[in-house]
Amino acid sequence: MTDPTPQAPPATQSPRRSETARRFVAASAILAVAGGALAADFFVFRLDVLFTAVLTIATILAFGEFCDMCEARGFRPFRIWGMAVCVGLVWLHWLALSGLLSAGAGWPLLEAGSVAAVFAIFLRQFLIRDNRDALPAVGMTLLGVVYLWFLPCFLVRIRHLEDPLGNAEWLLSGNALLISTVVVSKASDVGAYFVGRSIGRHKLIPRISPAKSVEGAIAGLAASVGAAYGCAALGLLPGLREAWMIPALGVLAGAAGQCGDLLESLFKRSGGVKDSGGVFPGYGGVLDVIDSLLISAPAIYLFLRFAAGLELAP
């Protein structure tokens, strides 16, 4: 009796395609949540309260991931204390921008809150009898607050920018600018990822991120410039009237976004982890999703304020 013809093993999806599919699903979920918050704020609340709530949740999760990386190296920042400080500053910043307080009261309140937040972190260390780990505990907590509150707060500021020569209200122009910020910044991630995996041969900075290539970095910059032109064509970059501003914004966003990605890679490499967390399959943690925005958002905000002349809505 002859042996039956061996059956070919069932076709399985390649790891690369599987990872791309997971990234697509995760990106769709993120866009749905963020887009829903922006739409509700615009049509229902007329304030950016839901967007700030989403930012609050992201800040808490990202601070936890940051603490995990620190603890992997034996450092123990004040996890709960730092989260509480970040949340308080997020909402003080929202109050300062919202106009709900009396004229001129918002920014002094935020300044006072920032000072109180620093003192609160010092106070937390004063309550500990053993002072041997005071320097890394206080230092890492303050770094986490700067990294995960101060830098992301520029996303909210971008949403409050308006063109002083335009007619659109700040919620409309601010939403457009915020969407453009995310699209142009993340376009660099997408371009660098696919081109780097396909034809990347020359390592960019292998001691920080072995997977990133020079070819991917160049493709990322080109993708950001293309995305900037696309956003401008759709009317999502109000106030950028000079022809040079669009490619300059693309290059700035792409370069800053890649610096943000490298910075988080540096932290992960120091902590000995591949991903900052596992919240988003295919991406990793919250930090893996927002890392490029942490540097590109402040850079884009400064560009829009001082090169394009946009102003914060009163």
Q: Looking at residues 208-218, what average pLDDT do you find?
A: 92
Handedness of CA 278, 94, 50, 119 (dihedral sign): positive
Handedness of CA 162, 168, 173, 174 (dihedral sign): positive
Per the prediction, the chain carries an average pLDDT of: 88
pLDDT of residue 1: 42
Contact 89, 117 (CB under 8 A): yes
**CB neighbours of 56 closer than 8 A, spacing ≥ 6?**
87, 90, 91
Element (H, E) at 56: helix 49-72
Alpha-carbon gap, residue 312 to 34, rounded angstroms: 22
Domain boundaries, the chain: 45-150, 165-314
Q: Which of 149, 172, 173 lies closest to 290 in space, CA to CA?
A: 149
> Hey, what are 90's tokens?
């997020």
Outline where DSSP puts E strands in 98-248: 161-162, 203-205, 209-213
Contact 78, 124 (CB under 8 A): yes
More confident residue, 214 or 47: 214
Residue-wise pLDDT for 234-269, tens only, equals: 999 998 989 999 999 999 999 999 999 999 999 999
> Hey, what are 121's tokens?
């972190």
How many Å from the N-terminal Cα to the C-terminal Cα in the chain?
88
pTM of structure: 0.89
Residue 280 has what DSSP assignment? B
Q: Which residues pair with 213 in a beta bridge?
A: 203
Residue-wise pLDDT for 60-108, tens only, equals: 999 999 999 999 999 999 999 999 999 999 999 999 988 788 767 888 9
What is the greatest pairwise CA distance in the chain? 93
